[in-house]
Each structure stands twice: as C-alpha cells, then as structure tokens.
Amino acid sequence: MTSVPKVRLAGGLEICRVLNGMWQVSGAHGTVNKTKAVEAMEAYVDAGLTTFDMADIYGPAEEIYGLFNSQLKSSGSAPPALQGLTKYVPRPGPMELKVVEKALQRSMSRMKVDTLDCVQFHWWDYKDKRYLDALGHLSDLQQEGVIRELALTNFDTQRLEEITNKGICISSNQVQYSLIDQRPAARMEQFCVANNIKLLTYGSLAGGLLSERYLGKAEPSSRAELNTASLSKYKNMIDAWGGWTLFQDLLIALETIAKRHECSVASVATRYVLDRPAVGGVIIGCRYGVAGAGHHISDSLRSCSPDLRLTAQDHAAIEAVTRRSRDLMGLIGDCGDEYRS
C-alpha cells in the first residue's frame, strides 16, 4: 500500500488528502452494478486511498460502502482502516432530535458501522433557520459518540461564521474549488484558517474537463457529448467563468506545466487546489461499477505526492489565464449559493 498523505480533522479523524468521491454512483453517471462497484473499490484501498465521500442522497452509495466494508472485515486478514464520510441532506421541515437520529441510524445501517466517521450537513434554504436546530442535535450526538466529526456541505462564509459563533465545532466544509471556481479564496479560506476548519473540495477536475482529453477539442454542446451530470454541471461553470476559448488557454498552460513535472493535467489541477490555504483534501469522483469507467488511481497518487511541487513559474502561467476570467463571486455569490435561490 502506498503512503498517501493524511490530514487530521478537528475531532481527531485522519483522512487521505485525496478522497474517493461517490456522487458518481448516484445514477446520473451511468447504471451502477453494485457487485462490480465493490470490486472496483478494492483497487483504491490497495493503493492507500482509503477515504470515501458519499451522502444519504447519492443513490446506493452508502449501501455500496457498507457492502465493501463488510467484505473487508470478513476477509480474514487485518483489513486497512477505512474512513467513510457521509452527508445528511434533509428536506426542509421540523428538525426534532428523533428526526435527526433516525437519519443517522439509517446511514449507519447502510454503511455497516457503529459510529459515523463524519457527517457533513447540507441545508437547502437559509431563510428556514431550523438548520440551527439540526446542527444543535448533531453536536449533541457527536458528544454522545454517534459522530466523530461534524461538518458542513456548501455553506457560505456568513452562515459558517454564524454556526461557529453558536459554539458548534465544525471540522470541515465541502465546497466547489478548482482552477475555474476560486470563490473560496475570496472569504471562506481566511475564516477557515482562523478557525481550524478544513475545506474538502469537489469539482476540482471540473468533472473530467480539466484533462488532456479536452485539449484542442471543439466545444461540447450536445447531450451525447456532455453525457454525465458532472460534465454538464461543470461545462456550465466554464461558460460562466469565461467560455471555451479561455478554457483552452488554461488547458494549454496546464499541459506545459504537466510536461515539466512529468505528470498529467489532472494532477496539476488537483495539486493546485491541495496547496491552497485551508484545503484539507480534494475529492476525486470515482465511477465505481459503471461500465467503461476508468480508474485514475495513479493520477490521484501523483497529485498528492510530495515530489510534485508547483513552482512560481507554474503559478504565474496559470494566473496569466485565470486573471482574464469573470468574477464568479460577483456572478454567483459565495460558496454554495448556486444551490439556493
């Protein structure tokens, strides 16, 4: 097993700096075969990539993790320790303790665990202040040992500060962060650094668009070309950021840097985000159990290797392109605002 760099969250849980993302098994990226998904997960763990990110709304993600977890434990030999980070994404409504407890028990049952390593809470409507009720209960359950780490997903800086000021200890906030979407640098990073909150980032490879595969290619527009939820989502982000021509300029700069470091464009894009202040880890989507889906284990290992160090020259080349982009903070708002009206 390769030694993958780890980061320690506020509650003591150590996770890999590259996490295996399981949104891709939710059904919007191709039909998932659960048996093959479990088989595919083994290669990642064998490589030292033992941290998995999922959610209660990601289709069978928690169940697939549970199947894999059970298989490892029954294998006979001493299994490697896994870290299973899930999300609690309730529909707006009353947030009594029994509602929160029932949701966590369901996740534990699916994941085949007695304690949840990390629960990342998401809330759809800031006008409905019952998110504070839910977080209060989650904090109490953390004190009881049901949860190791209490975290957030797609909360903005204002609400993160509000929650922290209530005395609720937040370990991490999961947000979109990439060479395209650098909104966390505007406000979020500074607050997180000051309060020992890690950023766990998604979209850092723009659903695969930040790769050699799209260098020099005509702009994709049809559903056949943008055939996963990720590709469609991040193509829209590129359009808002500056468009396909500017994106090609970025890919050209990244390819030059990648050749200099003898790695892939994806590894450079991931390393850039890993090096940002407050970033604890980058979530790389894995299409477990989807026919024809490739593994990107070597890219993930290279991106978090201490041997890959971006230079001042590399950063200057990247910023020569990104400074020509639009201000997404002004267009969209702070982290997560795209999920709220």
* pLDDT band of 28, cuts 50, 70, 90: low
Is pTM beyond 0.85? Reply is yes
E-strand stretches of the chain: 6-8, 14-16, 18-21, 51-53, 83-88, 116-121, 147-153, 172-176, 198-202, 279-285
pLDDT (0 to 100) of residue 293? 64
Can you tell me the mean pLDDT for 237-266? 98
pLDDT (0 to 100) of residue 220? 92
* Distance between CA atoms of residues 259 and 106, nearest Å: 47
Can you tell me the mean pLDDT for 175-190? 98
* pLDDT band of 173, cuts 50, 70, 90: very high
Can you tell me the mean pLDDT for 269-293? 90
Q: Is the pLDDT of residue 109 over 80?
A: yes
Specify whether the CB–CB gap between 56 and 26 falls below 8 A: no
Which residues, including other chains, have CB under 8 Å from residue 309's CB and lie 6 or more apart? Answer: none
Q: Which helix (H) or strand (E) holds 256?
A: helix 244-261
pLDDT (0 to 100) of residue 287? 83
Q: Is the pLDDT of residue 318 over 90?
A: yes
Can you tell me the mean pLDDT for 201-215? 96
* Distance between CA atoms of residues 326 and 218, nearest Å: 21
Comparing 7-11, 98-102, 189-193, 229-233, the range with the smallest average pLDDT is 229-233
Q: Is the pLDDT of residue 29 over 90?
A: no
Comparing 4-13, 100-109, 229-238, the range with the smallest average pLDDT is 229-238
- Give 127-149 pLDDT, tens digit per residue: 999 999 999 999 999 999 999 99
pLDDT (0 to 100) of residue 224? 82
Q: Is the pLDDT of residue 1 over 60?
A: no
Q: For all residues of the chain together, what is the average pLDDT?
A: 94
Q: Which amino acid is at 74?
A: S
Can you tell me the mean pLDDT for 169-189? 98
Can you tell me the mean pLDDT for 284-304? 84
224 or 157: which carries more pLDDT confidence?
Answer: 157
Specify whether the CB–CB gap between 16 and 48 falls below 8 A: yes
- Give 54-106 pLDDT, tens digit per residue: 999 989 999 999 999 999 988 777 778 999 999 999 998 999 999 999 999 99
Q: Is the pLDDT of residue 202 over 90?
A: yes
Q: Is the pLDDT of residue 45 over 60?
A: yes
Q: Is the pLDDT of residue 290 over 80?
A: no
